Amino acid sequence: MSLRPWRDIARRQSRQIMVGNVPVGGDAPVTVQTMTNTPTSDPGATIDQIRRCEDVGVDIIRVSCPDVESTAALGQIVRAAKVPIVADIHFHYKRALEAADAGAACLRINPGNIGSSARVAEVVRAAKANGCAIRIGVNGGSLEKDLLEKYGEPCPEALVESALDHIKLLQDHDFHEYKVAVKASDHFLAVAAYQQLADAVDCPLHLGITEAGGFVGGTVKSAIGIGSLLWFGIGDTIRVSLSAEPEDEVRVGYEILKTLGIRTRGVRVVSCPSCARQGFDVIRTVQTLEERLKHISTPLSLSILGCVVNGPGEARETDIGITGGGNGKHMVYLSGVTDHHVQDESMIDHIVKLVEAKAAEIEAETTDTPIAAE
Ligand code: SF4
Annotated binding-site positions for [4Fe-4S] cluster:
272, 275, 307, 314
d(CA 108, CA 88): 5
Q: Are 56 and 251 in contact, with CB atoms under 8 Å apart?
A: yes
Helix segments in the chain, DSSP class H: 43-55, 68-80, 93-101, 117-130, 145-151, 156-172, 187-200, 215-231, 246-259, 282-292, 311-316, 347-365
| Ligand 1 near 309 CB (within 6 A) | yes
| Ligand 1 near 86 CB (within 6 A) | no
Please give the distance, rounded to the nearest whole angstrom, from the Cα atom of residue 17 to the centre of ligand 1: 47
Give the position, in ligand 1's atom list, of the atom nearest the Cα of 279: 3
Q: Are 251 and 284 in contact, with CB atoms under 8 Å apart?
A: no
> Has this prediction a pTM greater than 0.75?
yes
| Ligand 1 near 305 CB (within 6 A) | yes
Phi/psi of residue 303, each to 5°? Answer: -105, 135
CA-closest residue to ligand 1 atom 5: 274
| Ligand 1 near 272 CB (within 6 A) | yes
d(CA 370, CA 374): 6
d(CA 200, CA 195): 9
Please give the distance, rounded to the nearest whole angstrom, from the Cα atom of residue 72 to the centre of ligand 1: 56
* Structural domains of the chain, ranges and CATH numbers in brackets: 5-259 (3.20.20.20), 267-373 (3.30.413.10)
pLDDT per residue as tens, the chain (374 positions): 567 888 888 999 999 999 999 999 999 999 999 999 999 999 999 999 999 999 999 999 999 999 999 999 999 999 999 999 999 998 899 999 999 999 999 999 999 889 899 999 999 999 999 999 999 999 999 899 999 999 999 999 999 999 999 999 999 999 999 999 999 999 999 999 999 999 999 999 999 999 999 999 999 999 999 999 999 999 999 999 999 999 999 999 999 999 999 999 999 999 999 999 999 999 999 999 999 999 999 999 999 999 999 999 999 999 999 999 999 999 999 999 999 999 999 999 999 999 999 999 999 987 544 444 34
> How distant, in Å, are the alpha carbons of 90, 150, 159 from that of 143?
13, 11, 7
| Ligand 1 near 310 CB (within 6 A) | yes
Phi/psi of residue 335, each to 5°? Answer: 50, 40
